[in-house]
């Protein structure tokens, strides 16, 4: 269980004990994790969603998403009377000091962020306000969204009611979201008034991390900039992996040496089949659109998107080449897939590379067996009955022409390779996440193919 640092002065301790009534609108990954963690540090939080089925589950102690430790934290704070769930946005707003907006912000076909849910919620909040409130944008929103929220609140709230709009972007990684919230590198808060700044500071006092106060526009740009930079780093190392393959180099060796440069670091230098999830693809596309509207052609990020897409296409070619050759194709070949979620420790399938890769293999006539420790339910909504869902690694490998790794779950890293080899029809493993040592795999008798290595 998270505990605040006890190295505080008496005055600071008094400030930390100041608790607020907080409303979080939206119970997706961002809203549910944020609301639960805010209750964990002592605030009284009510989470709102218009999905009655989801709220009913939460009221009955059922967590609708997979995030390590979240279900226990929800139960603990509900028991302590600090965390509540409702579909009644009006009452939740009236009974709160601060309202966090954490609704879905999908991307339109042209890359623009669809703000219809943000705008609708802002209107509802305005109509429910009966006194001073701080409205905090928590979802990832393009620059100037804060000003749009401000205009909506001003238009629809009662005359004379004061409020402040704040941008407080999240930096949560699925699979480690609780730790990211409670032990962050920094907390970014965009404000327009001293009053809002002081209140937001007091909200986060129990968390030991630097708080960076900026204008609202800077805070909005910071969020998109961070994700765009990390996506660029991933696409960069994937481009290097392609060069390594063509010149008998090893991207693992290259990335290790690059990462030792303190200006660069090792994080996000793992070559593979590209990035996915609910953030990077959407945020890169949205930032390109923001730049375009601002009169700047962000061609660097356009190339990041292209490299990411080509990485998945190249992996399909690698599968076809190393199973049967291009001429014969993979029709009627039985392929075992390990990993469906876009990354380990989550059941999220949004923009997962597995979706593109499996659909391409199915289109070529392959027979797909697949296993993921937690994403089976979400996968069924996408693939329906087009693939066979297995309950473990060994069931997946049995009688397959090859085993293909798409997500780097620890369970796969530690699997019994000798047993897997005996179950496979052919000892072929095609690894999209570089989780094994090529020399070791060769000694075990596998035909092992990975990304950017000899």
Selecting among 23, 37, 244, 279, the annotated active-site residue is 279
Give whole-number Cα distances, 272 to 48, 239, 310, 449, in Å: 38, 10, 11, 12
Percent of the chain as helix, strand, coil, to the nearest 5: 45, 15, 40
Residue 145 · residue 116 · CB < 8 Å: no
DSSP secondary structure of 160-197? T--EEEEE----PPTTSHHHHHHS-S-EEEE-SSHHHH
- Between CA 264 and CA 186, with CA 280 as vertex, the angle to 5 degrees is 60
> Within 10 Å of residue 440's Cβ, how many Cβ atoms?
11
Element holding 35 (H helix, E strand): helix 29-40
pLDDT at 422 over 50: yes
Residue 129 · residue 161 · CB < 8 Å: yes
DSSP secondary structure of 350-387? TT-HHHHHHHHHHHTT-EEEEE-SS-HHHHHHHHTTSS
What tens digit of pLDDT does each residue of 345-363 get? 999 999 999 999 999 999 9
Alpha-carbon distance 258 to 267, whole Å? Answer: 11
The pTM of this model reads 0.90
Q: Which of 224, 208, 122 is nearest to 171 (CA)?
A: 224
What tens digit of pLDDT does each residue of 92-124 get? 999 999 999 999 999 888 889 999 999 999 999
The whole-number pLDDT of residue 17 equals 64
Average pLDDT on 118-135 reads: 97
| Tokens coding 392 | 């473990």
Residue 18: pLDDT band by 50, 70, 90 thresholds? confident
Residue 420 · residue 396 · CB < 8 Å: no
- Burial class, 157, CB count within 10 angstroms (exposed 0-12 / middle 13-18 / buried 19+): buried
Q: Which of 358, 322, 323, 328 is nearest to 341 (CA)?
A: 358
What tens digit of pLDDT does each residue of 162-217 get? 999 999 999 999 999 999 999 999 999 999 999 999 999 999 999 999 999 999 99
| Tokens coding 187 | 């907390």
The whole-number pLDDT of residue 111 equals 86
Work out the percent of the chain whose per-residue pLDDT is above 90: 92
Alpha-carbon distance 143 to 219, whole Å? Answer: 8
Q: Is 215 a catalytic residue?
A: no
């Amino acid at each position: 269980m998270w505990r605040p640092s006890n190295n505080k002065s008496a005055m600071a301790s008094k400030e930390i004990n100041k608790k607020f009534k907080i409303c979080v609108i939206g119970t997706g990954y961002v809203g549910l994790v944020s609301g639960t963690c805010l209750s964990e540090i002592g605030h009284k939080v009510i989470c709102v969603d218009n999905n009655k089925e989801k709220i009913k589950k939460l009221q009955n102690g059922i967590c609708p998403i997979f995030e390590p430790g979240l279900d226990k934290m929800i139960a603990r704070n509900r028991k302590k009377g600090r965390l509540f769930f409702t579909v009644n946005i009006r009452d939740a707003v009236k009974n709160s000091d601060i309202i966090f907006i954490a609704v879905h912000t999908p991307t339109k076909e042209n890359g623009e962020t669809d703000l219809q849910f943000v705008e609708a919620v802002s209107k509802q909040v305005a109509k429910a306000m009966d006194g001073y409130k701080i409205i905090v944008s928590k979802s990832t929103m393009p620059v100037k969204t804060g000003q749009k929220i401000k205009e909506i609140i001003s238009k629809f709230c009662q005359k004379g009611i004061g409020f402040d709009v704040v941008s407080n972007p999240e930096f949560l990684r699925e699979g480690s979201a609780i730790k990211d919230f409670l032990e962050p590198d920094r907390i970014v808060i965009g404000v327009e008034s001293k009053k809002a700044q002081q209140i937001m500071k007091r909200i986060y006092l129990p968390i030991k991390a630097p708080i960076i106060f900026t204008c609202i526009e800077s805070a909005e740009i910071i969020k998109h900039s961070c994700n765009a930079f990390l996506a660029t780093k991933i696409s960069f190392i994937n481009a290097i992996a392609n060069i390594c393959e063509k010149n008998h180099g090893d991207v693992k060796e290259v990335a290790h040496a690059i990462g030792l440069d303190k200006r660069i670091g090792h994080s996000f230098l793992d070559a593979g089949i590209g990035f996915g999830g609910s953030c990077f693809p959407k945020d890169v596309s949205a930032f390109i659109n923001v730049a375009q509207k601002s009169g700047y052609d962000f061609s660097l990020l356009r190339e990041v998107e292209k490299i990411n897409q080509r990485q998945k296409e190249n992996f399909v070619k690698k599968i076809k080449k190393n199973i049967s050759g291009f001429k014969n194709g993979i029709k009627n070949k039985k392929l075992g897939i390990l990993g469906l979620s876009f990354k380990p420790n989550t059941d999220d399938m949004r923009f997962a590379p597995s979706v593109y890769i499996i659909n391409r293999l199915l289109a070529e006539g392959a027979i797909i067996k697949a296993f993921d420790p937690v994403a089976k339910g979400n996968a069924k909504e996408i693939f329906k009955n087009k693939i066979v869902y297995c309950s473990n690694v060994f069931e997946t490998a049995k009688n397959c022409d090859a085993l293909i790794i798409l997500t780097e779950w620890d369970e796969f890293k530690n699997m019994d390779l000798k047993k897997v080899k005996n179950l496979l029809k052919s000892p072929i493993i095609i690894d999209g996440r570089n989780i094994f040592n090529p020399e070791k795999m060769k000694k075990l008798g596998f035909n092992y193919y990975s990304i950017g290595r000899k």
